[in-house]
Structure 1
Amino acid sequence: MFVLAELKDNVRIAPDQFHLKLVDAVRDELDRRLANKVLLNVGLCIALKEIVSLKDSIILPGDGASHTEVLFRYVVFRPMVGTVMTGKIRSCSREGVHVTLGFFDDILIPHAALQHPSRFDEAEQAWVWEYPLEDGSKHDLFMDIGEPIKFRVSREIFEETSPTGPPKAEGQSSQAASTSAAAAAASAAAQEVKSPYKIIGAINEAGLGVLSWWDQQNKEDDHDEELGEDNTEYENDEDGEGACEE
């Protein structure tokens, strides 16, 4: 789930930080720039592990700050495909079930990867697993907000979220301006919902899903086993087997 990524960067240290040791100033600057940020095709940066090497610092003309090439290792959140994780249901929509780990929210279990058959309850705004019973009827198991849920990572999605560029210059026709404004609004809306790193999960296999489902089933199985043992002891007593002979 957490991996060490070896990275290299050129770190700028402002003159007001010159009173610090170089390694401490570099450490503070790296954490300021990277902590809780997503690096494309790397993952979500959590914390600096260690600085491997520091090259000579240089001061560029017209800039009083120092610039140092740094090789370092950073703790990154990037679970491997196939990893089983436990989170909490953040919300449900027709798209699927949205899960949070507390420090990472961009996890989606699409409706196609839920237990089958499942339906979306509009009134409750929750997905429901229609669990089949032995008599042919179905029992509704709700995926409520806040419930712990176990899922398997099926794939990951990285997206470039850098700005696309400045708006076009003025002086074009009103029609072109309105078209450009509409396109800019649509682009802005798409930019708002775009996530740089998203995890896609699945729960359509035994043992995965809301934890309370399986806890309840395990308790029922244990209860059935206890009843079976009691019946066996009762039958043995009736037959006289196992009784102590004097």
Structure 2
Amino acid sequence: MFVLCTLEDKVRLAPKDLRLDTADAVTAVLEKTYLDRVIPDLGLVVTLYDLLDIGDGYVFQSDGGVHHDTTFRVVAFRPSQEEVLVGEVISQDERTGVHVGLGFFEDIIIPPYGMPEPHSWDPEEKAWSWDLEGEEGASQLYFETGLPVRLQVTGLTYTPPPTPVDQSAAQSRGDPIPGSADCPHAPLVVTAKADGDGLGMVHWYDEGAMEEGS
């Protein structure tokens, strides 16, 4: 789920930061730049792990800052294909499926085709269910918002920020404008499934849950 990655960057220290220890000042700049940032093919940076090398400082004409070529390591969230995660159901809807969060990351989606078979959408409960047939008749096990769910990763999608052209085109079509409050931009989306042994709501596998339904 987490990977350790080595990066390089040119770090500029502002004049006001030159009184600080160089390592502390560089760390502060890197944390401000990288933490909670999604880097394509790398993942979501969750913490700065360490500094490997800080080069000698150099200055440019008419720039009061000092620049350092820096090599450092970060810890990034990048789940692997088929990795099993346990998160919390955040919301559900008929079109996109079940939305799951991990506390620090909330763009995990179990689409309808990733639900256990057979499944259905209950418009009254506004929830997806796993529809079971037993000796005593049919029963439904519901995905429940706010409770733990076990899922398996099927894919990662990196999406660049919407351009002004994208936003203008969406507005002209009458669609939600990407990057707005109604359609927030998700730079990384994890797609998953809940169809498989041991997958789905954690409480489904409590003793007696399969027999009783929910």
Q: Same fold (TM over 0.5)?
A: yes
Instruction: Indicate conservation of the 8 Å contact 2:170/2:178, yes or no.
Output: no
Structure number, greater radius of gyration: 1
RMSD, matched Cα = 2.4
- Are the structure 2 counterparts of residues 113 and 35 from structure 1 closer, same or farther at C-alpha, using a change threshold of 3 Å? same
Alignment partners' CA distance in 2, 1:151 and 1:181: 33
What's 1:197 paired with?
188
Q: How does 1:156-195 map to 2 (within 5 A)?
A: 156-161=156-161, 163-164=163-164, 182-183=171-172, 186=175, 189-192=177-180, 193=183, 194-195=185-186
CA offsets per residue over residues 203-240 of structure 1, 9 Å max, x none? 111110001111134897xxxxxxxxxxxxxxxxxxxx
Shift of 1:111: 0.5
Higher helix share goes to which structure?
Answer: 1
The answer to whether 1:80 aligns with 2:71 is: no
Alignment partners' CA distance in 2, 1:157 and 1:80: 12
What's 2:118 paired with?
117
1:81 partner amino acid: Q
- Are the structure 2 counterparts of residues 69 and 62 from structure 1 closer, same or farther at C-alpha, using a change threshold of 3 Å? same
Alignment partners' CA distance in 1, 2:174 and 2:205: 46
Moved more, 109-118 or 126-135: 126-135
Alignment partners' CA distance in 2, 1:123 and 1:85: 29
Alignment partners' CA distance in 2, 1:116 and 1:21: 59
Q: Secondary structure at the match of 2:105?
A: coil
CA offsets per residue over residues 141-183 of structure 1, 9 Å max, x none? 1111111000000110011116447x9xxxxxxxxxxx87944
Alignment partners' CA distance in 2, 1:43 and 1:31: 15
Q: How does 1:13-162 map to 2 (within 5 A)?
A: 13-94=13-94, 95-135=96-136, 137-161=137-161
CA offsets per residue over residues 181-216 of structure 1, 9 Å max, x none? 944975x71233331101000011111000111113
Quick one: percent identity of the two aligned structures? 31
1:198 partner amino acid: V
Q: Secondary structure at the match of 1:10?
A: strand
CA offsets per residue over residues 12-55 of structure 1, 9 Å max, x none? 11110111111110011101111111112111001111111111
CA offsets per residue over residues 93-128 of structure 1, 9 Å max, x none? 111100000110000000101011111111221111
Q: Secondary structure at the match of 2:207?
A: helix
Q: How does 1:203-214 map to 2 (within 5 A)?
A: 203-214=194-205
Count of residues in Structure 1 that have an aligned counterpart in Structure 2: 207
Higher strand share goes to which structure?
Answer: 2
Alignment partners' CA distance in 2, 1:71 and 1:164: 34
Gaps (5+ residues) in structure 1? 168-178, 221-246
- Are the structure 2 counterparts of residues 102 and 71 from structure 1 closer, same or farther at C-alpha, using a change threshold of 3 Å? same
Instruction: Indicate conservation of the 8 Å contact 2:162/2:179, yes or no.
Output: no
Instruction: Indicate conservation of the 8 Å contact 2:204/2:210, yes or no.
Output: no
Q: 1:216 aligns with which of 183, 207, 214?
A: 207
TM-score where L is the length of structure 1: 0.78
Shift of 1:134: 2.6
Q: Secondary structure at the match of 2:198?
A: coil
